[in-house]
Amino acid sequence: MALIVQKYGGTSVGSIKKIRDVANRVLEYYKEGNDMVVVLSAMAGQTDSLLRLAREMTDEPDPRELDVLLATGEQASVALFAMAIKSMGYPARSLLGFQVAIHTDRLFGKARIHDIETERIKRELEKKRIVTVAGFQGLDRKGNITTLGRGGSDTTAVALAAALKADICEIFTDVNGVYTTDPNICPKAKRMERISYDEMLEMASLGAKVLEIRSVEFAKKFGVPIHVRSTFTKERGTMVVAETEDMEKVLVSGVAFDKNEARITIRKVPDRPGIAGKIFHPLFKSGIIVDMIVQNTSEDGQTDLTFTVPKSEFKKTLSIVGQVGKEIEAKEVLGDANIAKISIIGVGMRSHAGVAQKMFETLAKENINIMMISTSEIKVSCVIDQKYTELAVRVLHTAFGLDHEQGQNSSA
């Protein structure tokens, strides 16, 4: 008799039959006496086809109106799901972002949830209705529809679980958990039974396929236990939970990689206070998220600054920074989109030395050149030439003892 928030992704509700399957699965929990809140994404392919429609209209669709358009995808899903439940003889009710209401800021296309009203949902649950909430969408202060960006339905689910003080948030997806690395690249990857919020956050790029990063931040902030599992099997997946002591015994939990970044280098910038601000302020204002930043030691009062941005923002960034480069009298601005970021992650790093060193040596042994390095308490990331990605992942996975003995293991 728990309050359970479940989220099903686009492939899980990709057809009428699949929506019916999800309805049956949800009913199993409901019949056991649980209160069910079900967050749905748009049917697989729907968001992309709406985007295509918008792009056919104009190269740069107005962000506010794009959100109005995209929000229809999840709206259709929850309506069809509620129909399915009702056709099976059980009570259900769909709620859209404005009906819940889910309040966000007004950053169209990548809005952040401010707060969620729970009265309406609670009222529906008291009537023993299965509540289905459109993922990905919210409402700004002025009543405009906003969307939370790709993977936003995960965030909707976790935020709802937090607001409702749900017992658990289950994220159903097309993979059966979180792996030590991508099994498509490394056949010896293992599924993890548990992973801490911090590790999951650091595994962003690996985890992006499984769990949207902001949903993990939300879960960590409010202590919502997340269960990542497959829509298509009954087996347990991976629990994403608060860190426990025994997690620290493992040196490295996983190897992540990210091919979606590009590198920008500003060469020979006069090294004056305030230069970094001059460079990054216009990027911040354009909503471009800068990931890694490395500044080389100053030489003759000049310095080199290198940073990475999402590949999708590469051109825009080059153009903005090219402009800024002139203003601050940099020698040149270079860009490279053929890079990959490889990371090793583990809360165990906090209490163990030499992890970074081992990583560098392992890559060097394969003649893989390291272009940038960045470290945090529980992560070491290296930027390398993109063509070495798979090789780097495999050798690191082996070097840090993550390989499963019997190779592929899908039911650990």
Which residues would be at the binding site for a copy of itself (CB under 8 A)? 16, 19-20, 50, 53-54, 56-58, 60-62, 64-66, 68-69, 71-72, 75-76, 78-80, 82-84, 86-87, 92-94, 96, 98-99, 120, 143-145
Smaller CB distance to a copy of itself: residue 73 or 151? 73
Smaller CB distance to a copy of itself: residue 124 or 170? 124
Minimum distance, C-beta of residue 165 to a copy of itself, in the bound complex (Å): 24
CA torsion angle for 197, 201, 202, 207 (degrees, to 10)? 110
- The angle subtended at Cα 85 by Cα 92 and Cα 224, nearest 5°, is 65
One-letter amino acid at 311 equals K
Smaller CB distance to a copy of itself: residue 59 or 377? 59
Ordered strands of the 137-139 beta sheet: 113-116, 102-104, 137-139, 145-147
Cα 305 off chain centre by: 27
Minimum distance, C-beta of residue 28 to a copy of itself, in the bound complex (Å): 19
Minimum distance, C-beta of residue 56 to a copy of itself, in the bound complex (Å): 5
Pairing of the two strands 137-139 and 194-196? unpaired
Of 129, 116, 229, 244, the closest CA to residue 169 belongs to: 229
Minimum distance, C-beta of residue 49 to a copy of itself, in the bound complex (Å): 11
Strand, helix or coil for residue 131 = strand
Minimum distance, C-beta of residue 149 to a copy of itself, in the bound complex (Å): 17
Phi-psi region of 242 (alpha: psi -120 to 50; beta: other; left: phi over 0): beta
Minimum distance, C-beta of residue 4 to a copy of itself, in the bound complex (Å): 21
The DSSP call for residue 369 is: P
Of 224, 221, 223, 200, the closest CA to residue 212 belongs to: 200
Name, in order, each residue with C-beta under 8 angstroms of 394's C-beta and a sequence gap of 6 or more: 185, 186, 188
Smaller CB distance to a copy of itself: residue 25 or 404? 25
Minimum distance, C-beta of residue 41 to a copy of itself, in the bound complex (Å): 15
Minimum distance, C-beta of residue 120 to a copy of itself, in the bound complex (Å): 8
Smaller CB distance to a copy of itself: residue 20 or 190? 20
- The angle subtended at Cα 284 by Cα 281 and Cα 290, nearest 5°, is 105
Smaller CB distance to a copy of itself: residue 20 or 397? 20
Smaller CB distance to a copy of itself: residue 143 or 274? 143
Smaller CB distance to a copy of itself: residue 45 or 223? 45
Q: CA 229, CA 219: separation in Å to the nearest integer?
A: 16
Of 322, 259, 312, the closest CA to residue 289 belongs to: 312
